[in-house]
Amino acid sequence: MIESDETLLLLRQYEDVTNHSSIVSKTNSKGQIIFVNDEFCRISGYSRDELLGHSHNIIRHPDNPTYIYKFMWNTLKDKKQIWQGVIRNISKDGSSYYVKTTIKPIVDSSGEIIEYIALRDDVTDIMDPRKQLDYLIDTTTNVLAIMIKIKNFREIERLYGQQIVNKIEMKLQEELFLLRPTECEFQKIFALGSGKYVFAKNKDDCSIGIDKVISNVKELQKNIDEIKIDIGGIDYYTSVLISVVYDEDIMENLNYGIEELENTNETFIIANGFSKKIRESAKKNFDVISMVKNAIETNNIVSYFQPIVDNKTKQIHKYESLVRLIDQNGKIISPYFFLDISKKGTYYAQITNIVLANSFKALTKVTEDISINLSALDIELPSTQEYIFELLDKYKEHTSRVVFELLEDEGIKNLTTISTFINKVKSYGVKIAIDDFGAGYSNFERLLDYQPDILKIDGSLIKNILTDKYSLSIVKTIVSFAKEENIQTVAEFVETKEVFDILKELGIDYTQGYYFGKPALLGSK
């Protein structure tokens, strides 16, 4: 009897500390509330009288996906197992709160459920799907994570608006949970917003190998892509990108994987090790930028000039100005290794201005034309444009020997700016050439915008002209068109007499390439 009294006393003390530290409720086997503690009343805003006899639906948040409750009751009633998870509830005054919940079915001696007891902790202040996911990843070894993103999410958002996109995201979240790979028993899907969702757990807890997991995820993707969502009478067919990681740097690799998919036509990727590659690339980029900075500060951004010959006389008629960098060891570095990276940094405009200054100075040293490359980025940058016109005014007596080679790219933001620039420099007697014509973004329509004096035929066509009938046909078409429009033509990358001879026969006006001379400092041989 004394032992029984002591046990009861201990149980009451355990109950007391639980009531003060947790949000507690009990329901009968039918799900009707039969007990709530003070903390439950406080956080919900309801009195005991308002809660007892009701189901927990009284605090269920209407925005919660239904799959949560299906999974919960399957675990509790069918499997008679403990269910754990984070639930968003709604209080009497309509405000939301989040509770980390553990529910246990209480069974009698025959195994029949007689009631349920639930213990909860208020996690409202820290509740955020990304924080939950980070916590899971930080506290789990051998993480397997699957990131799913709605394809072209931003375009869909702009097309349908936020309200409909929210509906798409919520519906897809439910479908994803129902279609998840069951062998790994993912118990939660983390909705991160912007069309992103993540499943994650310990890879060792999967009952199948990683190859089978990947196969199942691909099947999941196939099933998702067949889902039709009704959005206000309009059918929206889902399509997703999937990035899988089971290595380290989970979130970094997942996101880099999605970025890679968005830049390609692929929809599935295993992104292990991507973050390491990105860091290695970033270090290389930093080293290049540092090299460029040092070269600028030590006057080691220089201009080499490659001769362009008249095909009839084989005499040099012009030079193309080409940038080079001299590194700390005196090695000459091609722009291939630093120019594109410089465009993403802060030194590109300085490089352009140095090349411009070198090229205009060269006009005083030779009697031939000087051809200078300009990109849309150069022309659209006000400070670079301003410097160009300063040089044109300074070297006004030589400007009729200036050729601006316009490098075409899809980054043109304002064609009007380009057209205005062309018209203005032409008033100085400057000639306009289109570089790499016949490939890439080049097209005959662009001729209407640029009104060029010269077409520089793309080198890939010239290199293959002896063996590729398609290249030969394109070059013939370009030459024929140019002659009809009184536009001069230049062939680049001419390296042999055989190529030169056929180009001369086709009627191309000028030739540039190693057959006649490599880029070098003016005066060098």
Average of pLDDT values for 220-245? 86
pLDDT, residue 78, reads 92
Last residue of a domain, one of 103, 125, 147: 125
Q: What is the mean pLDDT of residues 397-418?
A: 84
- Residue 156 domain-assigned (yes or no): yes
Rounded mean pLDDT of 130-156? Answer: 86
The domain tally of the chain equals 3
Q: Is residue 252 part of a domain?
A: yes
Q: How does the average pLDDT of the chain come out, rounded?
A: 89
**Cα(385)–Cα(371) distance, rounded to whole angstroms?**
17
Task: Decide: 432 and 373 in contact? Cβ < 8 Å.
Answer: no
Is the four-CA dihedral 393, 394, 400, 403 of positive or negative sign?
Answer: negative
Range of the structural domain that residue 495 is part of? 286-512
Contact 189, 177 (CB under 8 A): yes
In a domain, 491, yes or no: yes
DSSP state letters, 355-382: HHHHHHHHTTT-SSEEEEEEEHHHHH-H
> In 3-state terms, what secondary structure has residue 491?
strand
pLDDT class of 416 with cuts at 50, 70, 90: confident
Q: Identify whether residues 477 and 413 lie together within a single domain.
A: yes
With both helix axes pointing from N to C terminus, report the angle between 382-394 and 348-362 in degrees, rounded to the nearest 10: 10
- Quick check: is 438 in a domain? yes
Residues 204, 157: one domain?
yes
Whether residues 46 and 101 share a domain: the answer is: yes
In whole angstroms, give the CA distance from residue 521 to residue 457.
25
Output the domain CATH number for residue 408. Answer: 3.20.20.450
Give first-to-last CA distance, the chain, whole Å: 112
* Span 306-341, pLDDT tens digits: 999 999 999 999 999 999 999 999 999 999 999 999
Task: Tell me what pLDDT residue 207 has.
Answer: 83
Query: Are 354 and 484 in a shared domain?
Result: yes
Decide if pLDDT at 146 tops 90: yes
What is 394-422 written as a DSSP string? Answer: HTGGGGGGEEEEEEP-TT-S-HHHHHHHH
Domain boundary among 109, 125, 141: 125
To the question of pTM greater than 0.85 for the whole model, the response is no
Alpha helices, DSSP H, located in 274-381: 274-297, 339-343, 348-362, 376-380
> Which tokens hold the place of 183?
């062998």
DSSP type of residue 124: G
- Residue 74 within a domain: yes
Highest mean pLDDT among 151-165, 411-425, 426-440, 508-522: 508-522
Structural domain includes residue 5: no
Residue 249, CB half-sphere, CA atoms under 13 Å: how many?
Answer: 14
Same domain, 265 and 320: no
Q: Which residues contact 104 (CB under 8 A, 6 or more apart)?
A: 82, 116, 117, 118
* pLDDT for res 1: 46
**Per-residue pLDDT tens over the stretch 266-280:** 999 999 999 999 999
Do 169 and 239 fall within a single domain?
yes
Q: Are residues 449 and 480 in the same domain?
A: yes
Task: Choose one of 87, 106, 125: the last residue of a domain.
Answer: 125
